[in-house]
Chain A
Amino acid sequence: MARFVLSRAVKAVLTIWIAITATFFLLRLLPGDPTTLMVEGDMTPEMQAALLKTYGLDRPLWEQYVSYLRELTQGNFGISFRQIQPVTDILVERLPWTLLLAGTAFVVTIAVGIPIGVYAAVHRGRWPDKVLQVLGIGGHALFVPSVAMLLLVYLGARLGWFPIGGAIDPDTRGAAAYASLAHHLVLPVLSLVLVQLGPYALTLRTNMIEVLGEDYIRAARARGLATRRRVWKHGLRNAILPALTLMGLQLGTLVGGAVLTETVFAYPGVGRLIFEAVGQRDYPVLQGAFIMLAVTVVIANSLTDLLYAVLNPRIRL
């Protein structure tokens, strides 16, 4: 197990390094430089040179890269071009919101997806199963911003059940603040869950049908084990493994979806920060945000692998 964990850790570090390097060079391969967007119109060559020097962009690319890696090892993501503040401070301010949004959507998707998937598998061919299949396939076609805007228009504006944008009513305190937080979270979470839920439950259903046909389940049935125990205890434990991997992979999509969801719902997370930083070509903020998201996804996937290995020892072989 120790060897397995170590190999996973090495792979994770390698993946993160590749993500850091790719982000660094891809941003700089974009046409133009950040000063192009900083001053449109009158900008003398001296002003441009001064800006490039201030941000260290006048140095050779490899020198910028080495210096960036050196700073990263000390936990320093650099200073934002636009906000003149440490990127770490900016990210620390935004990350909790994204974790809360994506984390809640993740938990809700699993919590709702498991019973739906299992129910559909057990009642295969009947109408709940058929509905799930339609929704599952339809889920792939849903586009987060469209779903988000529909929810905002109908549940937010027309019916007035939920707030239009934001993460909390800033004037609330104590318990009311937490209630406001939950209230503001409903629509963004719902838009992410609606997109993720169908495919997730469908995968679980397929796995479950396969598992329920296995010999050991039939043997359990022959032993007179109750349906409930047979399905939920013996069946689900095996059926959930591939679905778990899918969910680990989907976490990346969830975080990516958060960029769009946060923009539509004016949610103050890392996703919206990326949206703003792209428009301003704020390299340090973009690099920091991408690295943080990459680390989150890599860690989540590594944990999924480990969990998989714990649940299914054959993986470690």
Chain B
Amino acid sequence: MTTSNNRRPGRWRFAAAIGTAAALVLSGCGLNESDDSSGDKAGGGTVLRIGTTTDVSNFNPLQSLSKTDSWILNAMYPHLLRIDENAKKAPELAKDYSYEDGGKTAVFHLRDDFTWSDGKPVVAEDVKFSAEQIMKYKLGNVAAKLTWVTSVEAPDATTVKFKLSQPYAPFAEGVGFWMSIVPKHVFESAGDLSKFANDADWVGAGPFVLDSATKGQRYVMKRNEKYPLAPGGKAALSQVEYRIYPDVNTMMLALRNGDIDLMGTPVPASAAKTFENDDKIKLQKVGALGFAHLTYNMNNKDLAKQEVRQALSMAVDTKAIIASVLQGDAQQMAGPISPIFADYDNPEVQPYPFDPAGAKAKLSSAGYRDGDGDGLFDNLTLGVACDQSNANLTRVVQLFRESAAKAGIKLENQCVERNTFLSRTKNGEYDIDASQWGVFDNPMDQLRSTYLSSNPGGINYNLLKSPEMDGLINDAAATTDKDAFAEKIKNIDKVVHEQAYLTPLYVENFQFAYNASKFTGFVASPSDLLGMVTAYSLAQVKPAS
């Protein structure tokens, strides 16, 4: 018995030692892996370290839909066009584009000095292959933008022609901006590209090409020695390294501590002040390509009335919302076209004034009554749905409820978990939708998505079926003359505003933080999708001194 008693603590020690050793050996696998995959050092060159929030979920740029993936993949796979700091399309791989056959053929002329990292030139066949594979396997969100394409031709190495079933004015801009170009000579051997992971031996033609990926830890990109859009023909940085910080507060600490040089994700408005006393850190402000809005479900008998929608628009104190929720860091909107698209912004359209008394009078004249004298109109209760995880919009809904009550309108807060919210909006199960559009790169795509009744894949949250709007949108879509096109967009802007199909709230400003004592030259693009982490921007960055 005594012997046995003496042995037991020994067993425990043994078990503990085995457990610890096993854990260390297992984690040793991780160590070895990082040894193998980290590749060569920067060789004394300049390394820019960027904080990202999550691992790359998909290395296949034709399929990937993640914002954080695009920060890495867009630096590697060129696009025909990029978006500049004024939200205008600028040349990237394509020098220019034009329309032929009355708008039924879009022609891109490519530069001849883009080179894949294995030495082969980037040619029109690569563009043709990329587009055809997207159409064949319905890959990513670009597939919807190729809906009109009947065939793609590459008559020579630098010309690509997209034959369209009907003219669509913003086709070239949309496809040019969104579609990644992949190397045909590498991807064609993969077969079904919807099942191609592309997780090793990367070949790219951007300023940087992925060299190693240590899942959960970092992604190292090496400079492509030939990148024509960088000053001097190649990027000044020798290496770009992405490190993962899922928590934005941790990422901010890492920037302050010098572990990273740039935050890929925007700094929350409430936290931006914490960088004010740090001389090294600089904040760069960019506008959004989307906007926050209240959209009214036309299937609701009350919301189907123009007076009710207008009254609701008059019951939102947008200025107060911007001042309190966004701490002033946003621009108020009037019509459905963001002011960031200066060419299409209609100056005639002004926001509905915040006027609860006026809203009340409008509803009274529309026949609504307050029979019980509780200050609220009888039989006018509406639900406002939002994504609970969006702290800004949750507060917007709260403020909207309070201001609408002053106009006699009773609103119910129906903010729910994100997936439930997305599911409900998709099924039209809401009265008022308070949400934020992500990224619109051109007004036509936006109007088509949000108001065209025959667009089944759109985001027509109004559930609008208006022959008038359909006619206006289809007419503008087929107009390839730029001035005439802009006039038609401005007219739609006016109609939507008069009808008050939605109440646009604000265009948010995003702030990106970087270590200005070490790096300079970033070219920020609008939206949190692009921000400071675009191929063009990374190619312009250089050491600060």
Contact = CB atoms under 8 A, between A and B. Distances in A.
Interface of A: 30-32, 36-48, 50-51, 54, 82-85, 90, 93-97, 99-100, 103-104, 107, 149, 152-153, 156-157, 160, 163-168, 170-171, 173, 177-178, 181, 233, 237, 263-266, 268-269, 272-273, 275-276, 279-282, 310-311
A195 to B, nearest CB: 18
B419 A177 contact: no
Given A36-B426, A153-B253, A97 B55 contact: no
A266 B194 CA distance: 30
A31 B138 contact: no
A41 B419 contact: no
A55 to B, nearest CB: 10
Interface residues of B, number: 71
A46 B455 CA distance: 12
A149 B57 contact: no
Given A44-B456, A171-B41, A266 B196 contact: no
Given A90-B215, A107-B16, 15 more contacts: A31-B424, A36-B419, A37-B419, A42-B141, A42-B459, A44-B456, A45-B457, A84-B63, A96-B23, A96-B26, A100-B26, A149-B250, A266-B245, A273-B216, A280-B57
Given A164-B257, A165-B245, A31 B419 contact: yes
A40 B22 CA distance: 43
A50 B419 contact: no
Contacts of B35: 173, 177
B23 A83 contact: no
Interface in B149-200: 194-197, 199
Interface of B: 5, 8, 16, 19-20, 22-24, 26-27, 29-31, 33-35, 38, 41, 54-55, 57-58, 60, 63, 65-66, 137-138, 140-141, 143-145, 147, 194-197, 199, 214-218, 243-247, 249-251, 253-254, 256-257, 259, 419-420, 422-424, 426, 437-438, 445, 449, 456-459
Contacts of A268: 30, 215-217, 244
B240 to A, nearest CB: 14
Given A93-B216, A170-B218, A276-B54, A156 B253 contact: yes
Given A41-B141, A181-B31, A166 B54 contact: no
Given A36-B426, A107-B19, A47 B457 contact: yes
Nearest to B147: A44
Given A41-B459, A171-B38, A268-B217, A32 B420 contact: yes
Contacts of B426: 32, 36
B253 A100 contact: no
A265 B216 contact: no
A281 B423 CA distance: 13
B144 A42 contact: yes
Nearest to A94: B216
18 contacts: A32-B419, A36-B423, A41-B449, A47-B457, A51-B138, A84-B58, A84-B60, A85-B199, A93-B33, A96-B29, A96-B30, A97-B30, A99-B22, A103-B23, A107-B20, A153-B253, A166-B243, A167-B30
Given A84-B197, A156-B257, A157-B257, A43 B217 contact: no
Given A94-B216, A263-B247, A44 B144 contact: yes
A263 B53 CA distance: 10
Given A93-B216, A103-B23, A165-B245, A83 B34 contact: no
A279 B55 CA distance: 12
A47 to B, nearest CB: 5
Contacts of B420: 30-32
B257 A160 contact: yes
Contacts of A310: 8
A166 B34 CA distance: 13
Contacts of B57: 82-83, 276, 280, 282
Contact of A83 (B58, B250, B422): B58
B143 to A, nearest CB: 6
Contacts of A38: 65
A266 B247 contact: yes
Given A163-B259, A281-B419, A97 B216 contact: yes
Nearest to B174: A42
B27 A266 contact: no
A233 to B, nearest CB: 8
Contact of B26 (A51, A95, A272, A280): A95
A266 B250 contact: yes
A276 B243 contact: no
A93 B215 contact: yes
3 A-B pairs with the lowest CB-CB distances in the bound complex, closest first: A268-B216, A32-B423, A96-B26
A38 B137 CA distance: 15
Contacts of A152: 250, 253
A93 to B, nearest CB: 5
A276 B58 CA distance: 13
Contact of B250 (A96, A164, A171, A311): A164
A181 B27 contact: yes
Contacts of A31: 419-420, 423-424
B247 A170 contact: no
Contact of B197 (A44, A85, A164, A173): A85
Q: Which of A31, A44, A48 gathers the greatest number of chain B CB atoms within 10 Å?
A: A31
A25 to B, nearest CB: 16
B419 A164 contact: no
Given A45-B456, A171-B41, A37 B257 contact: no
B194 A54 contact: yes
Given A42-B449, A177-B31, A157 B138 contact: no
Q: Which of B30, B424, B426 gathers the greatest number of chain A CB atoms within 10 Å?
A: B30
A170 B23 contact: no
B457 A168 contact: no
A185 to B, nearest CB: 9
A42 B458 contact: yes
Contacts of A171: 38, 41
B249 A97 contact: no
B216 A46 contact: no
Nearest to A166: B217
B141 A43 contact: yes
Contact of B34 (A30, A36, A168, A265): A168
B422 A36 contact: yes
Nearest to B246: A263
Nearest to A236: B9
